[in-house]
Chains A and B, each alone.
Chain A
Amino acid sequence: MSIPFGGYASPEQIMRDRAEYARKGIARGRSVVVMQYADGILFVAPNPSKALHKISEIYDRIGFAAVGRYNEFESLRLAGIRYADINGYTFNRNDVTGRGLANLYAQHLGMIFTESIKSFEVEIVVAEVGEAAEDDQIYRITFDGSVFDEQGMAVIGGQAEAVGGRLKERYSEGLPLPQALDAALAALTEPGGERPPVTQIEVAVLDRGREHRKFLRLTGSRLEKLLEAAQESQGGARQPAAEEAQAEREQAEQAPDTAPPIAPEGDIDTGSGE
């Protein structure tokens, strides 16, 4: 992959290398799930850190989730807050939209991808909660600036495809919060694996029923109660899935990096190409 100095590399090759580099970095972390539930949008991220968030509020109706390199997505998060605050202050609070923010991120990431030596190793989700479930928007933006308008749910980072597959099985429209959280945690847990304890997950919602600012971080006893409710809702409904789980486990074993470290804490790629 290394190109001797002064040698020729085709643009295709350069882009491919950059994309591969970014994808590797992003797949190293754990996945983050963003999904609709009955009253809004739910964010769930395995994250042992209380201070280094992967999920954040951007504006009244807009939330942000990211995977990859912490310093890179943190700079994106701060820029998004500045963008939203300055627009809301210049015009009006409801003139700040998720679409505008997604476009800003797409432009910036696209520019970095084509112009910088190293692209950002991040994947982000911008979610906006609307007046009704039909107005909810979930945008997924990749390291190269591509924007995907996701329907109902989005999974980024880690083994995104496997997690997304598991989430799809359990997802349905208008799930109550405990059930939605249960589905998200089940999707984030490898088949047969243990669910992360309450201290190891970061959960937040954009609740359309709240006044002023819709974003709410769920922590402490509130989250514990919700998890208990989620356990109960799980009930005995998933016994027949055992065989399925076995099959999935075999599949997962074939995939590399089955126990990847968490992005902000784990090894950070130094770019030395080891």
Chain B
Amino acid sequence: MASQPAWMNSLFTYTGSSSFSEFLGVHAPNLLPARNESLAAPVGDEIPHATTIVAATCAGGVVMAGDRRATSGNIISQRDIEKVFRTDDYSCMGIAGTASTGLELARLYRVELEHYEKTEGRSLSTEGKAHRLATMIRGNLPMAMQGLVVVPLFAAYDPSHDTGRIFSYDVGGGPYEQREFHSIGSGSIFARGSLKKLYRENSSPQDTVLACLHALYDAADDDSATGGPDVMRKIWPVVSVITADGFRRLPDDEVAEFVESMLERRMTAPEGPTAPLR
């Protein structure tokens, strides 16, 4: 059967590691997001970019939120793109940079974690998950050099420590573990500045969600590539909370309530809540 893909012959005989992407790399490299072809010219601004993601730890877990805008240069290419993905029961990732590569990467990473879990009968450790993502980002380095940069933010609930943890990356890989909070993407500078003032250690998941939404709002306020909450179209940021109970993406109406309370506050104080000086 010459027409069947080459990997069909390897299904029963492969004796490599429990990594799905390694299996693909050996037997079906064309399916990997990272390619080695070089582009004639850097594509840079011409393809959609995903922008700001914030994450912050809370009591017994971690919160991640992302705005919904994708831009190609000065054009808004999508208003309701989703950039925060569940990767398994206790982890999620957000992507900033080239949207297409990021989506593909998130899809592959989810299979990667599941594949390990199913073949080995146990989940990867939180560090293991973070390291695995670093290797996959590093694999994308040649493409990043051509302008297809994608950088993820990884957040997980660590059952062995009973805390939320956040890992960031650069185009060469990582991971860099972050304490308390972190943000990535074009609006990250503003979001981080905002979170610096609004973050409270060990606050409830609800309060942390509100702080993250304020941070995204501040990012959208000052960064043209980050979208604020779209009240007319009812497009709200994607918010996910991971605790010992597992991953949970807040449903739209729940996020709407948070957003409305935030907007109400901003009606009277457009710059948002202020941190006490003394």
Contact = CB atoms under 8 A, between A and B. Distances in A.
Contacts of B108: 89
Interface string B1-29: 00000010011101000001001100010
B14 A82 contact: yes
Contacts of B121: 51, 53, 56
Interface residues of A, number: 21
B46 to A, nearest CB: 27
In this complex, the member of A83, A89, A104 whose beta carbon has the largest number of chain B beta carbons within 10 angstroms is A89
Interface of A (DSSP majority class): helix
B114 interface: yes
A128 interface: no
A88 B115 CA distance: 12
Contacts of B204: none
Contacts of A242: none
B233 interface: no
Contact of A104 (B11, B28, B107): B11
A9 interface: no
A201 interface: no
Nearest to B121: A53
B81 interface: no
Contacts of B107: 89
B52 to A, nearest CB: 26
Interface in A64-103: 75-76, 78-79, 81-83, 85-86, 88-90
A182 interface: no
Interface in B85-102: 86
B119 interface: yes
B15 to A, nearest CB: 9
B115 A81 contact: yes
Nearest to B104: A89
B34 to A, nearest CB: 14
Interface string A100-124: 0000100010000000000000000
A86 B6 CA distance: 12
A169 B27 CA distance: 48
Given A89-B31, A89-B111, A81 B119 contact: yes
Contacts of B114: 85, 213
A57 interface: yes
A58 interface: yes
Nearest to A111: B12
B111 A75 contact: no
Contacts of B12: 75-76, 79, 108
Interface string A31-48: 000000000000000000
B119 A86 contact: no
B31 A90 contact: yes
A86 B107 CA distance: 12
Contacts of A57: 118
B11 A58 contact: no
In this complex, the member of B12, B14, B28 whose beta carbon has the largest number of chain A beta carbons within 10 angstroms is B12
Given A85-B111, A89-B31, A108-B12, A78 B119 contact: yes
Nearest to B30: A90
B118 A86 contact: no
Interface of A: 51, 53, 56-58, 75-76, 78-79, 81-83, 85-86, 88-90, 104, 108, 212-213
11 contacts: A79-B11, A81-B115, A82-B20, A85-B20, A85-B115, A88-B111, A89-B24, A89-B31, A89-B107, A89-B108, A213-B114
**Interchain residue pairs A-B with the least CB separation, the first 9:** A79-B11, A79-B12, A81-B118, A89-B111, A82-B11, A85-B115, A85-B111, A83-B11, A57-B118
